[in-house]
């Protein structure tokens, strides 16, 4: 059965390495923070100027002057630091953030990502996404494998205006975990529990590389 959002977040949480600095995008990526194992210590960066995002506040702790990049109220933690947007993106652009997890509307088989604009329909702006994808060493995309209308979001080439080129390293969808190979192509690594390779093939429009047995994801 395809994963729900929580499932995708849980699977991505397994990718998170101890002692790293991570930027989580809005939506599923933000949920990832809830599933990082206790023994894995990471520091979450919010591009609006906070390093060390704490949990959501208690009702009485809510502070309008302390929000994350999704405009949600948050808290600080011991060891947190605050800074300006220029310093925040200096941090991002300078390659100091180890991992970026973000959502996407489309990913191409060479790692291009589109997630900021649907011409004539949706104009919200790119926010920090273009800076993040142009700068991060390691980028994981969290998304549904297919659009609401059933079209594959893993394509040979993106059809929407792109956010960045050749930058996505890994994709976790409701159906599968895939690496984007440096030479191009989606390499299938894991299947969602109960999802067949055949289903993933059907849902993937770009070049899918399948080698040997494809194990099922292990989720707690």
Partner 1 sequence: MINKVVNNADEAIADIPDNATLMLGGFGLCGIPENCIAALVKKGVKGLTCISNNAGVDDFGIGLMLKTRQVKKMISSYVGENAEFERQLLSGELEVDLIPQGTLAERIRAGGAGIPAFYTPAGFGTEVAEGKEVREFNGKMYLLESWLQADFAIVKAWKGDKAGNLIFKGTARNFNPMMATAGKITIAEVEELVEVGELDPNHIHTPGIFVQRIFQGVNYEKRIEQRTTKIK
Q: Which residues bind partner 1 (CB under 8 A)?
A: 18-19, 21, 41, 43, 45-52, 55-59, 62-68, 70-74, 76-97, 112, 120, 123-131, 134-135, 161-165
Q: Which is nearer to partner 1, 33 or 175 (CB)?
A: 33
Q: Shortest approach of partner 1 to residue 156 CB, angstroms?
A: 16
Q: Shortest approach of partner 1 to residue 163 CB, angstroms?
A: 6
**Alpha carbon separation from 103 to 46, 48, 57, 167, 171 (Å, rounded):** 15, 18, 25, 13, 10
Q: Which is nearer to partner 1, 42 or 176 (CB)?
A: 42
Full 3-state SS string of 134-162: HHCCEEEEECCCECCCCCECEECCCCCCC
Q: Shortest approach of partner 1 to residue 214 CB, angstroms?
A: 32
Tokens of 80: 């947190």
Q: Which is nearer to partner 1, 68 or 144 (CB)?
A: 68
Q: Give the integer Cα–Cα distance in Å for 64 and 68.
A: 11
Which residues partner with 101 through β-bridges?
24, 140
Q: Is 47 a catalytic residue?
A: yes
Q: Which is nearer to partner 1, 44 or 172 (CB)?
A: 44
Q: Which is nearer to partner 1, 123 or 149 (CB)?
A: 123
Q: Which of 105, 177, 178, 96 is nearest to 137 (CA)?
A: 96
Number of alpha carbons in the 13 Å side-chain half-sphere of residue 164: 21
Q: Which of 38, 47, 109, 198 is catalytic?
A: 47
Q: Shortest approach of partner 1 to residue 48 CB, angstroms?
A: 4
> With left for phi above 0 and alpha for psi between -120 and 50, is residue 134 left, alpha or beta?
alpha
Q: Which of 203, 217, 45, 207 is nearest to 110 (CA)?
A: 207
Q: Tell me the longest C-alpha to C-alpha distance in the chain.
A: 54
Q: Shortest approach of partner 1 to residue 69 CB, angstroms?
A: 8
Rounded to 5 degrees, φ, ψ at 33 are -55, -30
- The residues carrying an active-site annotation are 47
């Amino acid at each position: 059965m395809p994963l729900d959002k929580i499932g995708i977040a849980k699977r991505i949480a397994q990718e998170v390495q101890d002692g790293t600095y991570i930027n989580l995008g809005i939506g599923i990526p933000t949920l990832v923070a809830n599933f990082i194992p206790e023994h894995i210590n990471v520091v979450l960066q919010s591009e609006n100027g906070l390093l060390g995002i704490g949990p959501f506040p208690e009702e009485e702790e809510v502070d309008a002057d302390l929000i994350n990049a999704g405009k949600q109220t948050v808290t600080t933690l011991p060891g947190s630091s605050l800074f300006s947007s220029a310093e925040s993106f200096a941090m991002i652009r300078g390659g100091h953030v180890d991992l970026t997890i973000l959502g996407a509307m489309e990913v191409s088989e060479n790692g291009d990502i589109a997630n900021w604009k649907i011409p004539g329909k949706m104009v919200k702006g790119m926010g920090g996404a273009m800076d993040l994808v142009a700068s991060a060493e390691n980028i994981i995309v969290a998304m549904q494998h297919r659009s609401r209308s059933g079209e594959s979001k893993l394509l040979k080439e993106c059809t929407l205006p792109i956010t960045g080129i050749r930058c996505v390293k890994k994709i976790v969808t409701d159906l599968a975990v895939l690496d984007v190979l440096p030479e191009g192509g989606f390499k299938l690594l894991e299947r969602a529990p109960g999802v067949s390779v055949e289903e993933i093939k059907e849902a993937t429009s770009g070049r899918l590389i399948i080698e040997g047995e494809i194990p099922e994801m292990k989720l707690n």
